[in-house]
Amino acid sequence: NAGVTQTPKFQVLKTGQSMTLQCAQDMNHEYMSWYRQDPGMGLRLIHYSVGAGITDQGEVPNGYNVSRSTTEDFPLRLLSAAPSQTSVYFCASSYGPEAFFGQGTRLTVV
Amino acid sequence: GENVEQHPSTLSVQEGDSAVIKCTYSDSASNYFPWYKQELGKRPQLIIDIRSNVGEKKDQRIAVTLNKTAKHFSLHITETQPEDSAVYFCAASRGARQLTFGSGTQLTVLP
């Protein structure tokens, strides 16, 4: 039981490049979400999904897309990376009240 | 939407002393208030949570109190130890799903 797995752990992108952050969970959780963590700002919700085929925007969705084709996977796509998207990204899943976080992806956009 | 404010941003205490971190929230409909601990370079992990129908909850050296009228809740850590040093985040939500986090408190326990 691996829990929530994120890949990659580190990534450097050039401005304008696109990429996908992967998130997979093996706990059969319906609810999954993506947060970004910036110094002094806590974790801010980007997008979330309440089940396969259903996604919605969080607090800071601009510049990001998500899809949920299976219960297990919830990838986050950066369409055209900008320096403002330099951050640590956490994926989380939950069934009940407790959110289980992945180990994070540290993204730097230069 | 919900807004959560957390204070202080940094807190240093002597080993064995108590630490208190406070949060306020804006949405009176919020009913779930978890606290997460994040060690350096690690993922956030839930340490304690409280629902709006309870005023206080304890788990060994940690406790959380909730004042619904004033819309604030607090984390109390007693007999602090070096391994308590970490960043602590409060959060609030309706129904334990879309969490809104505070900005975090860096707790340092001095030997």
Mean pLDDT in consecutive groups of 10 residues from the start of chain B, 111 residues? 94 98 96 95 94 92 96 98 97 85 96 91
Q: Is B43 in contact with A102 (Cβ distance < 8 A)? A: yes
Q: What is the mean pLDDT of residues A70-75?
A: 97
CA–CA dist A42, A73 (Å, integer): 24
What's the pLDDT score for residue B97? 77
- The alpha carbon of residue B49 is apart from the nearest alpha carbon of chain A, in Å, by 9
DSSP state of A39: T
What's the pLDDT score for residue B72? 96
* Chain A residues inside the 8 Å CB shell of B45: 101
DSSP state of A84: G
* Chain B residues inside the 8 Å CB shell of A87: none
DSSP state of A53: T
What's the pLDDT score for residue A19? 96
Q: Is B49 in contact with A50 (Cβ distance < 8 A)? A: no
* Terminal C-alpha separation, chain B: 41
Report whether pLDDT(A36) > 80: yes
Between vectors from CA B76 to CA B15 and to CA B80, what angle results, nearest 5°?
A: 15
What's the pLDDT score for residue B96? 65
- A31 — pLDDT class (breaks 50, 70, 90): very high
What's the pLDDT score for residue A64? 98
Query: From A4, which residue of chain B is nearest by alpha-carbon distance?
Result: B43
- The residues, ordered by sequence, that sit 6+ positions from B18 with a Cβ below 8 Å of its Cβ are B76, B77, B78, B79, B80
Report whether pLDDT(A7) > 90: yes
* Chain A residues inside the 8 Å CB shell of B49: 97-98
Interface contact A59, partner B, CB < 8 A: yes
Report whether pLDDT(A85) > 80: yes
* Chain B residues inside the 8 Å CB shell of A47: none
Q: Is B9 in contact with A103 (Cβ distance < 8 A)? A: no
CA separation (Å) from A69 to A2, A73, A99? 20, 7, 21
**Percent of chain A residues past pLDDT 90, beyond the cut:** 90
